[in-house]
Every structure is written in C-alpha cells, then in structure tokens.
Structure 1
Amino acid sequence: DIYIQVTRGIAPRNHLFPDVPAQLALTIRHPRQTPEEAYEKGISTLLLEDERWANCYIKSLNLLPNLLAKQAAASKGCKEAILVKDGYITEGSSSNVFAIKDNVLFTTPATRKILSGITRANVLECAQEQAIQIREQNMTPSFLKDADEVFITSTSVGLLPVSKIDEVKLPTFRPVTVALKHAYSLRTAGTKAYQ
C-alpha cells in the first residue's frame, strides 16, 4: 500500500495556518493479510454511536474516534464497529457498509457523514455492471440486522461479508455478496495482495 500525506509544514504551535512550504510524505507498507476464513464465514460487528466530527468525508489524521470504536469492537470479539448517528448507519470505523434486501443493494449516501472510499465506488460500479439495483439511502440498525446479506468494503479487505451484528446472526447464504466479490476481484486482479 502507498500512502501520501500532505501537510502545511513545520511551524510554531499557534493554531494558525503556517506561512511555510507544504510538506509531502510518502509511506509504503506491505498490505495486511485477511484470513481466507473471514471471506468464507464473514465477520462479527458491533453497532456503536458515531462520535466523529461533522466532516467525515475528509480523510484526515484525526482518527481517534475511529480507533476507539475499532478497539471497543475488538474487546467484544468483533472485527469491525458499525457506526450509528442520529438513528442511522453511517459507516464502519474503517470501512463502508452495504446491505442486500430482496436483491437490492443498499448503502449510506455519499454525504459529509461518510468517507466514500474508492473500494465502495468500485463495488457500486460492479453492481451496475451486473444490473443489481442500487439504493443509496439511510439505513437503520434494525434494517441492517434484518437484511438478507451485509458486507463491508475497504482498501485493506476489499469486500468482506458480515456474519453477525451485535448478537444477531445474519444468513449464511450470500449470493449477491459472492457475485460482487468475484466481480471486484476480477476488476482489481493483480493489484491487491488479498485477492
């Protein structure tokens, strides 16, 4: 994985934009490996209140609420926290959330409340190519728990099925998830170590 960070540079701490040249940092790291079993069986998730700031569509280094949510999920044996704000699902602590109900693909709209990831965009394109109906609309926790299939997406895991939300076990038959994962894998073949 390659990460590029741009900062306003080094300056005295006075909470003003510094009048110095911008700095660019490039980080290269080996991608994390997700066990194949997680793709077959799905992962457990935990619903948590979304305590992040109002501009989640901006990717910044202010990840403390995300880290606290991910840690809270891990302490309960879950791989991801699914965040809820004002009664609606926003996204995961490090992922986007999708649900399938009656063969329709649902995901939270790309507003200021979520970081609309590139993997999310690719999965939506895969769904369009497969003529899967898409609805970008707000989902309640009860809607998510009652879905036929749920999965998350991110750069590091690709498309990963969810088998459990809180204490609710989801169906193990995931035909739309499997089809989308296959299409996404073909689309990104050779570009991801987890494929």
Structure 2
Amino acid sequence: MSERTLVIIGAGGHGKAVAEAALLSGEWQQIAFVDDRWPALSETFGWPVVSDVAGVAALAIHAVGAIAAVGNNAVREQWVKAIRAAGLPLVTVVHPRACVSAAATIGTGTAIMALAMVGVDAVIGEGAIVNAHATVDHDASLGDFAHLGVGVQLAGGVKIGAWAWLQAGCSAGYRVVVADGVVCAPGTVLQADGLV
C-alpha cells in the first residue's frame, strides 16, 4: 500500500461512495477496505478487502488514515473506536462536489457526500454522515455519529442530536431541535412546534 492509502471500514454501498469521494478529492490514491465479510469478500469497487475489523491494527503501518463507513450510527461509533485503538489517524472525507463553508466546523471521521451543502458557522460532529444532496444550513448543528440521509434539508439554526438518524427526504424548519438517538422516517417534516 502506498503512502496515500485510505483504510475504509465497511465495504457496503456507503463504503463504496466514501471511496469514490476520497479518490475524487485527490487526497487519496489507494483504498484498502476492511469488512467482517472478509475473506469471503475480497474486493469491492475495484479495491481489495484486506482484513476484518479485528485485524485493522495490522494496517496502521501501511495507511495514512482511516474512516468508518456504515450507515448504522452505533456500529460506526464502534468502528471509530477500533480505528483509534489501532493507532490509525481518523480522517474526514468530503466529496469535491460538496459545498462546505470555510466557516463551518467539521468533526473528524465525518463523510460529506456529493452535492451536500454545509453552511456558514454550521457545526458537524465526529463520525457523522451528511449524505448526497443533504443541506446543513447556517448555524445548524449535527451531533456526533448522527446521520442525515439523502436529500435531508436542515434550515438555519436546526440542532440534531448525537446518534440521530434523519432518513431520506426529511426536512427540518427553523428552531427545530431533534434529541439524541431519534430516528425520523423518510420524508418526515419537522417543525418547531412538533411533527407534521
């Protein structure tokens, strides 16, 4: 593995999307996937699956960084712990066709996907996902290990708690606060005075 190899834990659909974003960003030249389906699963998206999660520490001498790439928030948190225990730097991946304000704060281990928008003074926690076409507008916040599905729209100032999951197409109007761990079904519309 070269000096610009990214270890991605999770060789499923989200892992492939994170790999593509990482390669398109120009920051990474090679991908090494880690997945508990190894060795039966030996390749995905044209890149090797080299280990299961238990073996990730052996990759620390070969890779510059790692990211956990799975939609399940609790599993992603456990994989981030495995990355840290292995001594691998936890990295953030931002798709080059995402629009991220220079005044936004992005936590380590976060994936910001194609055509996502993160506005001025927005705060994204550690290990979060801002999926394709999702918007985190100005002054909004997304907690650690939270997950915005495809096309989720957060208005300015919205606060989404840690481990929350807003599934595809949800929208949150001004002053909305979503508590830690809440799961919102696809297309849910949230307003400050309740759900609609």
TM-score by length of 1: 0.26
TM-score by length of 2: 0.26
Q: Which has the higher helix share?
A: 1
